[in-house]
């Protein structure tokens, strides 16, 4: 399990625990509610992740020649 997946799992768990502590959720509804919260957190996190930026590739200067082999 990757680091992001672990953080999503921990976050969803904490949210459900807080709902139970506040009386907004009974422990009997844990399974159904947890799945919905996990999915919402997972989708939110993963849609906001940006792929690492690649450095721009160096292009030869105009008018210069590059050779690929030995002379």
Mean pLDDT of the chain: 82
- Joined tokens for residue 39: 């999915």
Which residues lie below 8 Å from residue 25, measured CB to CB, with a gap of 6+?
A: 16, 19, 33
9-37: pLDDT as tens digits: 999 999 999 999 999 988 888 888 999 99
pTM of the complete model: 0.62
- Other Cβ atoms less than 10 A from the Cβ of 16: the count is 21
Output 67 or 12, whichever has higher pLDDT. Answer: 12
Q: What are phi and psi of 23, to 5 degrees?
A: 85, 10
How far apart (Å, rounded) are the C-alpha atoms in residues 8 and 16?
Answer: 12
Q: Which residues, in sequence order, are CB contacts of 64 under 8 Å at separation 6+?
A: none
């Amino acid at each position: 399990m990757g680091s992001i997946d672990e953080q999503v799992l921990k976050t969803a768990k904490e949210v459900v625990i807080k709902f139970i502590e506040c009386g907004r959720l009974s422990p009997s509804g844990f399974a159904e509610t947890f799945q919905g919260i996990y999915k919402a957190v997972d989708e939110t996190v993963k849609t906001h992740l940006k792929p690492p930026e690649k450095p721009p590739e160096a292009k030869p200067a105009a008018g210069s020649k590059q050779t690929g082999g030995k002379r």
